[in-house]
Amino acid sequence: MTLRNIAIIAHVDHGKTTLVDKLLQQSGSFRDNQRVAERVMDSNDIEKERGITILAKATSITWHDARINIVDTPGHADFGGEVERILNMVDGVIVLVDAAEGPMPQTKFVVGKALKLGLRPIVAINKVDKADARVQEVVNEVFDLFAALDATDEQLDFPILYGSGKNGWMSLSPDGSHEEGMAPLFELVLKHVPEPRVEEGPFRMIGTLLESNPYLGRLITGRITSGNVKPNQMLKVLSQDGSTVESFRVSKIMAFRGIERQPIEEGVAGDIVAIAGMTKGTVADTFVDPAVTEPIKAQPIDPPTVSMTFMVNDSPLAGTEGDKVTSRMIRDRLLKEAEGNVALKIEESSEKDSFIVSGRGELLLAILIENMRREGYELAVSRPRVVFQKDVSGQTLEPIEEVIIDVDEEHSGVVVQKMSERKADLVELRSSGGDRQRLVFHAPTRGLIGYQGELLTDTRGTAIMNRLFHAYAPHKGEIPGRRNGVLISTDQGEAVAFALWNLEDRGPMMIEPGWKVYGGMIVGEHTRDNDLEVNVLKGKKLSNVRAAGKDEAVRLTPPIRMTLERSLSWISDDELVEVTPKSIRLRKAMLDPIERKRADRSSKTA
C-alpha cells in the first residue's frame, strides 16, 4: 500500500477541520449509519466551545490502494509551536485559503516554515460559493505571498483546487463540477505529494506529539525516519545533546485508521505511529534502536514573547471552591504541560510559591489557565508581560507584531489613532472590498495587550484583528496603560443590592448582589483615574416609616461580565486575577490598604 503524509495549514476559521470532516466521510471512514459530531477532529471541550483548533491531531484515510495520513493544525499564531513541530512529519501541505479573506497572517507564518523545509504545497481556495468571494485576486495574492517568502520555482508552480469544504466538493476550476466531491483533492495528493523520505539503518523516530493515556501511560507520536519497530522491542531515548534519557521496552504501537487509533504489529519507515512504554521520553527527543548514538536534529521553535506569573491563591476565599491549591500541585501541572507543549517555558520565581510561565501569546496562556480551572485548580495570575531581550550592545529589544485589521471605512480613522497611541507604525492601507479597508501595522506586543475589547467597542463589533510575531526591535518607549481606577471592597462578606445601587454613579460594577467579596477585591471600575475604596456590604437603615413609594425595588444596572481573557488584559501591574473552578475574581496584589499606600508612595519617590 502506498503512503502519503500531508498537513492541512490555514488561518483560523478558513475551514481546515470542516474539510477534514468531508475527507473522512467521502473516503468511507465512517459507517453509513454512524453518528459523527461536526468538526470531529476538535475533540477537547474548549475546542468545541470556541470553534477553534488548539492541538495538532493526526488521522488516516484510505483512498483506493493508498493510505493518506493527514495532520490537522491550529490556525491561531499563539499555537504556532504545535504547527512548527508537525511539519517534520509530513512530505506535503495543503494550504487552505478563504476565497474572500485571502491569505492572512497565520497562513503566511506556517507557509514560510513549510517552504523553508522544502515542502511542495497544494493550494485549495475554499468557500468559493460565498457572496463576496474574489477567487482570481486571492490566487494572485497567494502567488505574491509565496514569492515574498522566497519559494523555489518548483514550489511556485503549485497546483490549485477550488471548492467548498462545507458542501464537500473540490474542482480544478471555480465553476467546475460538484459531482466528484473530494475525489480531485485525493487524486492531486497522490500525484503531487512525494512518498515519505526513508533513510537506511536501524529504527529512528523524533517525538512530535506527546499525550497521556489512562491505560497505556505516555504516548509519543512521530514519523519513523528509518527502520521498523515491533511491540516488546527495546528502544532508548536520546535528548538533543546526545545523552541517553532512558531505555524502555515498547508496550504497544498505535496507528490511526480513520478517526480510530488501533494497535498494529509493526511500524514501518515513513508511517506516522504512536509508541507507548516510556516514562521520561518527551517531545523533540529521538527514539532509537540501542545501537544508534546520534539524535535527529529538531526544528528550532520561535522564542516565547509573553510571560505571566502563576502563584498560589492567598485570598481570604482560598480553598473554598477548588481542591488543588498547593504550590506543589500547581508546579507539577505546569511542568507536565511544558513537556508536551514546546512553546511553553516554566521558571521558578524569586518570590515564594510562584512560577513564571512564558508562551507565544495571551491566548495560549489563557487556554492553559482555563484547562487548569476545569481540572479543579485554584490559583492567582498576574497581568501578561512581554519578554524583553538584549542585543550585543546592551540595548533593550522588545517583540513587535504584524497586526492586520479589517475594518469598515468609517471606523478606520479611530483605529489608526488608537494604534498610533500604542506606538504602532502603519505599513500598509488598502481596500479589501465592500467598503472595508485592510490596515497593516507593526506594533509592540506591550501595546496590544488589552486592545481587542477596545477595538470592538470603537468599531461597533465590525473589526477583525489578526496578529503574528514579526521580529524583536529596539524598545519604543512608554505606552499609556488603563486610564480608569478601580472600586475596591473594604470588607469581607456578601454584596448587598442597596449598597451597589448607591455606588452606581461611581462607576460600572463587576459583581452582583449575594456575591462573596473580601477586603482588597476589585468590585467595579471607577469613573476617574484613581482607586476608590467602597463598602458593598452596607444595607439600608430600617425605620418604622412606611410611605407610598418609599420601598420601591432596587433596580440595578447589569454588571460588566469579566471573562478570563478580558480580565487578564484589563488588570494593571499591581493587580491579580484569582481563578477558581467556579469564579473569576479581580483583586489587588496587596490586600491590606496600608501596605498598598506605602508601596504607592515608595514607587512615586523612586
pLDDT single digits (tens) 148-181: 888 899 999 999 999 988 888 889 888 877 888 8
Banded pLDDT at 41 (limits 50, 70, 90): very low
My answer on whether 84 and 147 are in the same domain is: yes
| Grid cell for residue 287 | 527514539
- Was 127 annotated as part of a binding site? yes
My answer on whether 450 and 519 are in the same domain is: no
User: Residue 45 falls within a domain, yes or no?
Assistant: yes
Q: Across the chain, what does the average pLDDT equal?
A: 84
User: Residue 352 falls within a domain, yes or no?
Assistant: no
My answer on whether 186 and 212 are in the same domain is: no
CA–CA gap between residue 463 and residue 334 (Å, rounded): 35
My answer on whether 441 and 525 are in the same domain is: no
Helix (H) or strand (E) segment spanning residue 48: helix 45-50
Q: Which pLDDT does position 77 carry in this prediction? A: 53
- Was 128 annotated as part of a binding site? yes
Q: Is the pLDDT of residue 128 over 80?
A: yes
What single-letter DSSP state applies at residue 213?
Answer: E
Q: Which pLDDT does position 43 carry in this prediction? A: 45
- Was 129 annotated as part of a binding site? yes
CB 163 within 8 A of CB 135: no
Of residues 301 and 33, the one with the higher pLDDT is 301
CA–CA gap between residue 107 and residue 551 (Å, rounded): 61
pLDDT single digits (tens) 323-356: 999 999 999 999 888 877 777 889 988 887 899 9
- Was 16 annotated as part of a binding site? yes
Q: Which pLDDT does position 556 carry in this prediction? A: 86
Closest CA to 91 of 58, 72, 117, 64: 117
| Grid cell for residue 144 | 505574491
My answer on whether 578 and 511 are in the same domain is: yes
- Cβ neighbourhood burial of 355 (10 Å; 0-12, 13-18, 19+): buried
What single-letter DSSP state applies at residue 184?
Answer: H
User: Among 84-98, 100-114, 256-270, 486-500, which range has the highest average pLDDT?
Assistant: 486-500
The range of the structural domain enclosing residue 165 comes to 2-192
Mean pLDDT of 8-29: 74
Q: For the chain, how big is the Rg over CA atoms in Å?
A: 27
Domain of 515, CATH number, reads 2.40.50.250
My answer on whether 544 and 469 are in the same domain is: no
My answer on whether 27 and 122 are in the same domain is: yes
Domain count for the chain, please give it: 4
Which of 166, 192, 218 marks a domain boundary? 192
Q: Which pLDDT does position 533 carry in this prediction? A: 93
My answer on whether 165 and 50 are in the same domain is: yes
- Was 15 annotated as part of a binding site? yes
Q: Which amino acid is at 485?
A: G
pLDDT single digits (tens) 544-592: 666 555 545 678 889 988 888 889 888 888 999 999 999 999 999 999 9
Among residues of the chain, what percentage have pLDDT more than 90? Answer: 32
- Cβ neighbourhood burial of 89 (10 Å; 0-12, 13-18, 19+): buried
Is the pTM value of this prediction over 0.95? no
- Was 17 annotated as part of a binding site? yes
User: Residue 599 falls within a domain, yes or no?
Assistant: yes
Q: Which pLDDT does position 37 carry in this prediction? A: 42
My answer on whether 492 and 467 are in the same domain is: no
Within 10 Å of residue 606's Cβ, how many Cβ atoms?
A: 5
My answer on whether 135 and 233 are in the same domain is: no
- Was 21 annotated as part of a binding site? no
CA–CA gap between residue 411 and residue 439 (Å, rounded): 11
Residue 491 β-bridge partners: none
Q: Is the pLDDT of residue 246 over 70?
A: yes
Which of 288, 306, 339 marks a domain boundary? 288
Banded pLDDT at 40 (limits 50, 70, 90): very low
Which of 243, 265, 288 marks a domain boundary? 288
User: Residue 73 falls within a domain, yes or no?
Assistant: yes
Torsional sign, CA 16, 18, 19, 21: positive
SS3 category, 531: coil
| Grid cell for residue 511 | 459583581
CA–CA gap between residue 333 and residue 326 (Å, rounded): 11
Instruction: Name which of 24-38, 173-187, 297-311 the model is least confident about.
Output: 24-38
My answer on whether 503 and 566 are in the same domain is: yes
Q: What's the count of helices (H) and strands (E) in the chain, helices before strands?
A: 15, 33
Q: Which pLDDT does position 379 carry in this prediction? A: 94
